[in-house]
Each structure stands twice: as C-alpha cells, then as structure tokens.
Chain A
Amino acid sequence: QKEVEQDPGPLSVPEGAIVSLNCTYSNSAFQYFMWYRQYSRKGPELLMYTYSSGNKEDGRFTAQVDKSSKYISLFIRDSQPSDSATYLCAMSAYGNNRLAFGKGNQVVVIP
C-alpha cells in the first residue's frame, strides 16, 4: 500500500461549482497535513496547513482531516477559472521534516 494515495483525476468543473479533492494515507504517525497548489510551469505553493484532525477554513478553501479514517479533503467553494491547477496533498509525522506527497489532482474550472 502506498504511503499517500491521491486519485490523479483530471477533474473538470463549471465555474461556481464546489471542487472536492481527497487523499488517503497509511501511516498513522502523520500529524501535519498540507495542500499545495501548482500552476503550470510553476513550483508548488502551500495553500492550506492543518495539524491533527478537524477543519480549517481560509476564504473559499476548506481543509478537513479525519485521522480515524486516514482521510483528508480539500473543498473549493465558488470555483473560479484561476483555481485551475494541480493540487497536491502532503503530510508529515511529528519530529520529521520529510513530507510525503500525493501524486496530485489536476483541476480545470470551465468558465
């Protein structure tokens, strides 16, 4: 079983729709969970950072972590064409600087 699983998509949605992305993981030691956004020909940039279980909201973005199910999600409300990018989940264990990445989900928001 891979350490982090992320369905690579791609995912096409109309403008204004809710985008739902998720990752599952196998390492129960993971405690820090992140979502990165990567535009074409650019490096990934940190979008959301959460610690342990729960929800975190930042504008149109909501990150959810369910440690009991080893499942994390990212929701994008009122999606915009500028949200078109690849979204990568990442996670790490306590005391460990190494990040384990998912393969990324390509999202296309159609005007």
Chain B
Amino acid sequence: EAQVTQNPRYLITVTGKKLTVTCSQNMNHEYMSWYRQDPGLGLRQIYYSMNVEVTDKGDVPEGYKVSRKEKRNFPLILESPSPNQTSLYFCASSLSTRTGAYGYTFGSGTRLTVV
C-alpha cells in the first residue's frame, strides 16, 4: 500500500530534550515536506526537500532541523524542544514535476506535547 509513515503517533517530552520524528514513504517520491497544524493557524510548512541532500526552509523553520540522506526518509529533528512547539505534525510527499504540484500524500500525524 502506498503510504507515508510517521513515528511516533504521540509524544510527550520535556523542554530541551532532543527528539526526532521519523517519516518514510514507499512511493519513490522526490518531494517531501513537514507541516505543523495548529488551531486557527492551519497547516504551516516547516521544511521541505526536493530530493536527496536538497532541503530548504518553509514558513516556520525556527527550532527545527531536517535531513534527507535517502529518498524515502525525511526525519524532523527538534534539538531543544520548547512548549511553543507543542503541535500536530504532518509529513507529506509527492512526485516532483516541472509543471507543478501533484497532490500530496500525508502521514497520519504526530501529536507532540512539550512540557
């Protein structure tokens, strides 16, 4: 089954404790992206990657890091989490074309709480 897999689904952590949220897709998609979703603010892009070793900032990159060492994986790293990073996080992937965005496939989400 074609899918984007995120882990963990739920995570409670303490301020300052480094964490990684994993994302893997099995569709051979070039484009991958991380979003956070907050009430009243909608989906906001954190980082995206056009292909292996190619990453760039989205709209809200502060406090986050990403890497793209393999095509299928795109982990999100919070080096020193803070309570304002409490949110619902989604990983998404799509084919990358010269014409434009195809529909994204989203993961099921990771609900992160930082206390």
Contact = CB atoms under 8 A, between A and B. Distances in A.
A93 B100 contact: yes
Contacts of A90: 104
Contacts of A101: 42-43
Interface string B3-14: 010000000000
Interface in A22-65: 31-32, 34, 41-46, 49
Given A98-B48, A103-B42, A104-B42, A32 B109 contact: no
Contacts of A34: 103
A32 B94 CA distance: 14
Given A49-B103, A98-B101, A103 B90 contact: no
Interface residues of A, number: 26
A43 B31 contact: no
Contact of A97 (B4, B42, B100): B100
A43 B90 contact: yes
Given A103-B41, A104-B42, A41 B109 contact: yes
Contacts of B102: 49
A96 B101 contact: yes
- Among A41, A49, A88, A98, residue most surrounded by chain B Cβ atoms (within 10 Å): A98
A97 B106 contact: no
B42 A92 contact: no
Interface string B27-42: 0000100000000111
Given A46-B104, A97-B96, 20 more contacts: A6-B42, A8-B40, A31-B100, A32-B100, A32-B101, A34-B103, A41-B108, A41-B109, A43-B4, A43-B107, A44-B106, A46-B103, A94-B100, A97-B48, A97-B100, A97-B101, A98-B48, A98-B101, A103-B42, A104-B43
Interface of B: 4, 31, 40-43, 45, 48, 50, 90, 92, 94, 96-109
Please list the 8 inter-chain residue pairs (A to B) with the smallest Cβ-Cβ separation, ordered nearest first: A43-B106, A103-B42, A46-B103, A92-B101, A101-B43, A97-B101, A32-B100, A97-B31
